[in-house]
Amino acid sequence: MKTVSLITFGCAKNLVDSEVMAGCLRKAGYELLDDPGRSDVILLNTCGFIGPAKDEAVLAIESALDRKRRAPWKKVVVAGCFTERYAPELRRKYPQVDAWMGVKDYDRIAEVVEGRAFRPSDRTFLLSHETPRALSTPSSWAYLKISEGCSHCCGFCSIPLIKGAYRSRPAVSILAEARRLAEAGVKEVNLISQDTTYFGRDRGRGGALGRLLGRLAGVDGIEWIRLLYGYPEEITDDLLDAMREPKVCPYLDIPFQHAAPALLRRMKRSMDGRRALKLLERIRARLPGTAIRTSLIVGFPGEGPEEFRALREFVREAGFDHLGVFTYSREEGTAAYRLGDPVDEGLKRERREEILGLQAKLSAARLKNFRSRTVDVLLEGVWKDDRTTLVGRTRGQAPEVDGVVFIEPHPVPLRPAGPLRKIEITASDVYDLRGRIVG
């Protein structure tokens, strides 16, 4: 049997694309192996969003080619955003790569690997419920991609250059995939997109996301529905009302990016820190207890001491439950590219660490409120460093990006009771909780 080692870089949306490729390869008769040293084909699904991701892709390509030099019978195939964005340069630099594929033909990966000719698509691949997909997440949860591309024009972002304009999946297709996931034992679906809150607007259907949430809540077997990545300007009262559905997790991932008005105008973002705080107040009044995550950028051109001070004060006042910080990466083809990259890289890193340090203190104080409470937790399995300790998440913790709940000692088998358990929280630290199963 032909064997493939598939290595994924980048975001959760990339992970879904890899799961599609894995499903298509299995359907074509390939075996998926974790060890690239033992496989016939090394397949890299790359990210090309920002500088560090591109550097990681280059190292991965060179590492794969080094294996090929030592075992010339191996094939190296490179796919994904990095290839889509820089294909001509990459082909010239790495002629030893056997095949290249961007983001338009994930479902044709078997033909690509085998060197068979086919008519390439002219649009970014958008999966359907009929697309083969091999899940790589724990059995209790999965990502559910509801769209592809982005129609926003944020000054710093290269995604529209790579993926094209926003395209929503039909709701019937999303629901059919959700039913199939539920039949496989999945309890939590995490809706992902470049902008989840834009769903349906490309089809002229306002309020489509709220209606989708209601229909997903009717899928037997699905217990948690989570929204990931929504633009602040698109968080409407109608959406918040739809999130009152018991199966919808009280959780919002809203990338505010910054707080200084002048900087946000350069970023081509419209919501400044003052308006963002009002939005947070509205969310918390309408949906008490909602966990809110954000992403921020430090070191954008024009960020001086005053602008950074505004960002720091915004983080302090906002009281986010979860927060990620990126240092600005100057990207060719974006509107901000012409502004240069005047903020020193060392200063960018210092500012990033300062914001993360502030958030660590806020997070530790917030998590103390969970002590002695009993909460619902979705179990994911045993912790990688300690096979006697279970790990799971609350409704306010998204997979892979937020903290977790450690449950020890290993109390009872995961089956037949299932992965959703009542957990009494006994301790907390900066980002994680610790507890024991009740009953």
CATH number of the domain that 81 lies in?
3.40.50.12160
- Judged against a pLDDT cut of 70, whether residue 415 lies above it is answered with no
Is residue 416 classed exposed, middle or buried when 0-12, 13-18 and 19+ CB atoms within 10 A define those classes? Answer: exposed
Is the model more confident about 120 or about 225? 225
Does residue 410 lie within any of the structural domains? yes
Number of domains in the chain: 3
Whether residue 394 sits in one domain with residue 360: no
Q: What pLDDT, on a 0 to 100 scale, did the predictor assign at position 338?
A: 96
pLDDT band at 412 (very low <50, low <70, confident <90, very high): low
Whether residue 151 sits in one domain with residue 80: no
- Judged against a pLDDT cut of 50, whether residue 399 lies above it is answered with yes
Mean pLDDT along residues 205-212: 92
Does residue 102 lie within any of the structural domains? yes
Q: What pLDDT, on a 0 to 100 scale, did the predictor assign at position 206?
A: 85
Whether residue 63 sits in one domain with residue 157: no
Whether residue 364 sits in one domain with residue 399: no
Whether residue 256 sits in one domain with residue 357: yes
Q: What pLDDT, on a 0 to 100 scale, did the predictor assign at position 416?
A: 44
Whether residue 175 sits in one domain with residue 45: no
Whether residue 171 sits in one domain with residue 40: no
Whether residue 198 sits in one domain with residue 299: yes
Whether residue 356 sits in one domain with residue 380: no
Which tokens belong to 436?
A: 């024991």
Q: Are 58 and 20 in contact (CB under 8 A)?
A: no
> Of 26, 41, 42, which is closest to residue 133 (Cα–Cα)?
26
Q: Running DSSP on this structure, what letter comes out for residue 257? A: B
pLDDT digits (tens, 9 = 90+) for 158-198: 999 999 999 999 999 999 999 999 999 999 999 999 999 99
pLDDT digits (tens, 9 = 90+) for 381-391: 888 777 778 89
Q: Can you give the CATH number for the domain in which 399 is found? A: 2.40.50.140
- The model's pTM: 0.94
CA angle 316, 322, 328 (to 5 degrees): 80
Q: Can you give the CATH number for the domain in which 276 is found? A: 3.80.30.20
Which tokens belong to 86?
A: 């820089």
- Interatomic CA distance for residues 346 and 187, integer angstroms: 43
Does residue 68 lie within any of the structural domains? yes
Q: What pLDDT, on a 0 to 100 scale, did the predictor assign at position 270?
A: 85
Q: What pLDDT, on a 0 to 100 scale, did the predictor assign at position 417?
A: 55
Whether residue 294 sits in one domain with residue 155: yes
Domain end point (choices 114, 133, 162): 114
pLDDT band at 410 (very low <50, low <70, confident <90, very high): low
Q: Are 334 and 156 in contact (CB under 8 A)?
A: yes
- CA distance to 80, 81, 423, 433, per residue, from 394 (Å): 32, 32, 9, 9
Whether residue 148 sits in one domain with residue 108: no
Whether residue 160 sits in one domain with residue 35: no
- Judged against a pLDDT cut of 50, whether residue 335 lies above it is answered with yes
Does residue 124 lie within any of the structural domains? no
Q: Residue 391 sits in which domain range?
A: 371-437
